[in-house]
Chains A and B, each alone.
Chain A
Amino acid sequence: MREARLRQRDGEWLSSAKGPVIRRYRGKYVAIRNKKILAASTTMKGLYAKLDKLKPGMVLITRIERPALLVYVELR
Chain B
Amino acid sequence: MSSFAKKWMRQKTQTGTVYRPVVDLLFNEETGRNLYSFIVDSGADISLAPRQLAERIGLDWDKGSKITLSGISPKPECTLEGRIHKVSALVPDLAFELALPVCFANGNAPLLIGREGFFDEFDITLDKTRRRTVFSRKRARRA
| A interface residues (Cβ-Cβ under 8 A, vs B) | 1, 4-5, 7-8, 11-12, 14-16, 19, 22, 29, 31, 42-45, 48, 52, 57-65, 67-76
Interface residue ranges of B23-54 to A (CB < 8 Å):
24, 26, 31-37, 39, 43-46, 48, 50-53
Question: Which chain B residues border A70 with CB–CB below 8 Å?
Answer: 20, 39, 110
Question: Which chain A residues border B53 with CB–CB below 8 Å?
Answer: 44
Closest residue of chain B to A42 (Cβ to Cβ) is B108
Q: How many Å from the CB of B18 to the closest CB on chain A? A: 7
B14 contacts A by Cβ under 8 Å: yes
Stretch at the interface among B63-71, B122-130, B135-143: B63-71
Q: How many Å from the CB of A45 to the closest CB on chain B? A: 5
Q: How many Å from the CB of B69 to the closest CB on chain A? A: 5
Query: Interface size on B (CB < 8 Å)?
Result: 48
CA distance A45 to B105 in the complex (A): 13
B103 contacts A by Cβ under 8 Å: yes
Q: How many A-B residue pairs have CB under 8 A?
A: 109
B9 contacts A by Cβ under 8 Å: yes
Q: Is the CB of A69 within 8 A of B7?
A: no
Question: Which chain A residues border B58 with CB–CB below 8 Å?
Answer: none
B71-102 vs A, CB cutoff 8 Å, 1 = contact: the mask equals 11000000000100000001011010000000
Give which listed residue, A16, A43, A76, contacts B67 with CB less than 8 A: A76
Q: Given A1-B95, A72-B43, A73-B48, list of 14 further CB < 8 A pairs?
A: A4-B24, A7-B35, A11-B22, A16-B10, A43-B108, A59-B35, A60-B34, A60-B35, A61-B111, A68-B13, A69-B14, A72-B44, A73-B71, A75-B103
The answer to whether A69 and B18 touch (CB under 8 A), given A19-B12, A75-B68, A76-B67, is: yes
Q: How many Å from the CB of B45 to the closest CB on chain A? A: 7
- Could you pull out 5 A-B pairs where Cβ atoms are within 8 angstroms? A11-B24, A59-B34, A62-B111, A70-B20, A75-B68
